[in-house]
Amino acid sequence: MTIIAEPQDFTPAYNECKFITDSTNKNLDGFRYIFEVFESGTLNRIGYYKALPTFGTGYGEQDLSKLLSNMVSYDFNPTITTFYDATNSYYKYDIKIGEEYIFTLSYTASLSDDSGNVEITPSVGHPFVVGDQLNITQADLGVANPGVEGLHTVIAINGTTSFTINALWSEVTDATINGSIKYADNRKDINLNEISTINKYVFNGAISWIDMPLYDQDDYVLDNNRALWLTDQPFTFSCTLGQDLWLNLKDNGVQLNERVYFTNDDGDVFYKSISGPDYIKGIACGPNNYGSLTLVSGTAPLVKQDTKWYTVTYYDGAITPTAKSVSYKINIDTRTLISESHILFLDRMGSWSSFAFQLKSYEKGNIKRETYNKDVPGYVTSSQWKYNTWEQGQTNFNTQVTKTYDLNTNWMSEAEANYFQQLLTSPQTYVKNVVYRITEDLDNLYDESGCIIHIPESTEYVSCNVLNTNFDVFKQRNKNLIRQSVQIRLSNNDIING
């Protein structure tokens, strides 16, 4: 057996994960390829597949994406401001490939007489025992020896080299006719794990159809200044002060002194250390959640009143002439706010990014109730039936309130507008409303433009579902100012008492 094609060692779980193999036995009767999938390094088998040879090539093909995508999910903890091990965002597996086919023995040695019955000596050792039912096919289809052709029973074993069947030797006219032997029930030879490929990874990603043929796992190895993180977030991205980001990176856990460096437009340099053996890590790096940083040079904090942007870059140790990843630039969005909400979403590469909605927002409520008309019991007084006016006939029950929100972004770049599509299609979304308080620093109450400085105070994230069923694709050559809208509904309804 040989492997014709296989996925790269690190691939997105939701894209095709096809293994193609070949066997020199593919033309045998009843042939099937067998694919076994194991949790890497264990005997825990999570999948077992049989595949017919494909027409034309005879190859065995099996796509494991449906299986492996069920082995990954996502990691989400909105309280983390350092980094986390994304243990649920990847899965390590082994593939073992075998085959099965109908058991067949050939014989070319001449038939012989064993006490009046026919003795057969196969070309190789046989596994038969007395009582086995066999189906014998001769090269001439039984013309010379009709008594040997067809179904027979083993009546004697003459060692591992020959056996005797219940066919009369007297009916044999040509003992030199060759033949083949199968079990009468067509039982199969099953040979597992003839070849294997181990230590493969899938991660919680789904690359578009047009981009997947260009996918290269080496693009995500953090060893050069072009290496990518596991996100589709644009290299330049605008965030308000209240926004959170958790971006994933691939990390094999063997580097020393791993650090993510933050550098702002004033030239101030900071870092946070990351550690641990996990293969994928999520880094908190948004303006609202980058957490405590170690100052390398310049002055703290990272984001000051006049900070316009900062970058996030992975290095293996101290800053050297060559970074170990591309830099992701975060522009600080200080445009005037009418209201502010954020939607955090799982992007197509498994990272958590967010968009701010700073323009007018609208909140609507929808009431769902069930009703029934019940009997009014009333009361009897002075031989008359009467009732109280407050007694209830038509009655409401199971009342629930659902809320929907219409949110609008500020102007954005074409790259951000394209990325916004991933929010609209993401299966995991959370909304957070942001409120602001006036700064308590009375000596620095006003910013450079004379406006009172407000500090964002974020509320908790609440699970929501995006309701949009279509979207526009904007190009700046057709539209200079791009703005997006979204309609969401909270995932959980409010229950009404009574």
Angle in degrees, CA 349, 353, 357, rounded to 5: 140
Quickly count: other Cβ atoms within 10 Å of residue 280's Cβ: 25
Q: What is the mean pLDDT of residues 52-77?
A: 96
Closest CA to 205 of 46, 61, 39, 10: 10
2-73+90-99+191-203: CATH homologous superfamily? Immunoglobulins (2.60.40.10)
CB 343 within 8 A of CB 425: no
CB 87 within 8 A of CB 72: no
Distances (CA, A) of 304 to 286, 301, 438, 448, 454: 14, 6, 16, 12, 13
Q: For the chain, give the mean pLDDT.
A: 91
Q: What is the CATH number of domain 216-334?
A: 2.60.40
Of 170-184, 204-218, 324-338, the one with minimum mean pLDDT is 324-338
Q: What pTM, to 2 d.p., does this model score?
A: 0.85
Q: For tokens 């996030």, what's the residue?
A: 312
Three-state SS annotation for 306-330: CCCEEEEEEEECCCCCCCCCCCEEE
Closest CA to 346 of 412, 416, 430: 430
What would the pLDDT profile of 261-285 be if each residue is shown by its tens digit? 999 999 999 999 998 778 899 999 9
CATH topology of domain 105-186: Elongation Factor Tu (Ef-tu); domain 3 (2.40.30)
**Complete edge-to-edge strand list for the sheet that includes strand 258-264:** 236-239, 328-332, 309-316, 258-264, 269-273, 294-297
- pLDDT band at 93; cut points 50, 70, 90: very high
Q: What is the mean pLDDT of residues 113-137?
A: 95
Domain boundaries, the chain: 2-73+90-99+191-203, 105-186, 216-334, 352-495
Q: What would you report as the CA-atom Rg of the chain, rounded to the nearest whole angstrom?
A: 36
Q: What is the mean pLDDT of residues 34-40?
A: 98
Q: Residue 178 in 3-state DSSP?
A: coil
- 105-186 and 216-334 have identical folds: no
- pLDDT band at 96; cut points 50, 70, 90: very high
pLDDT of residue 435: 60
Angle in degrees, CA 413, 419, 425, rounded to 5: 140
Q: Is the pLDDT of residue 2 over 80?
A: yes
